[in-house]
Homo-oligomer: A and B are copies of this chain.
Amino acid sequence: MHTEPRPIEHQQADAKQLESSFKVACSNCNLRELCLPIGLSSNEMQQLDGMVATRKKIKQGGHLYSSGDAFTMLYAIRTGFFKTCVVSEDGREQVTGFQMAGEIMGLDGIVSDKHNCNAIALEDAEVCVMPFNHVEDLSRQIPMLQRHVHKIMSREIVRENGVMMLLANMRAEERLAAFLLNLLQRLHARGYSKSELILRMTREEIGSYLGMKLETVSRTFSKFSEEGIIEVKQKNIRILDHDKLKAIFNASTC
Contacts and interface: CB of A to CB of B under 8 A. Distances in A.
A146 interface: yes
A25 interface: no
Interface string A85-110: 01011101010100000000001111
A162 interface: yes
Contacts of A143: 136, 140
A161 to B, nearest CB: 5
A199 interface: no
A116 to B, nearest CB: 5
Interface residues of A, number: 49
Nearest to A251: B90
- Count the copies: 2
A247 to B, nearest CB: 11
Given A143-B136, A146-B139, A157 B165 contact: no
Nearest to A110: B154
B211 A108 contact: no
Contacts of A208: 168
Mostly helix, strand, loop or mixed at chain A's interface? helix
B155 A147 contact: no
Contact of A161 (B86, B154, B161): B86
A252 interface: yes
A207 B142 CA distance: 44
A111 interface: yes
Given A163-B164, A211-B167, A252-B92, A153 B157 contact: yes
A86, A143, A152, A154: most-surrounded residue (chain B CB, <10 A): A154
A161 B164 contact: no
A169 interface: yes
Given A136-B143, A150-B136, A211-B169, A96 B250 contact: no
A124 interface: no
A139 to B, nearest CB: 7
Interface string A144-188: 001101111111111011111101110000000000000000000
B250 A154 contact: no
14 contacts: A86-B162, A90-B250, A96-B161, A107-B153, A108-B158, A110-B153, A111-B155, A116-B158, A136-B143, A139-B146, A157-B160, A163-B164, A168-B209, A168-B210
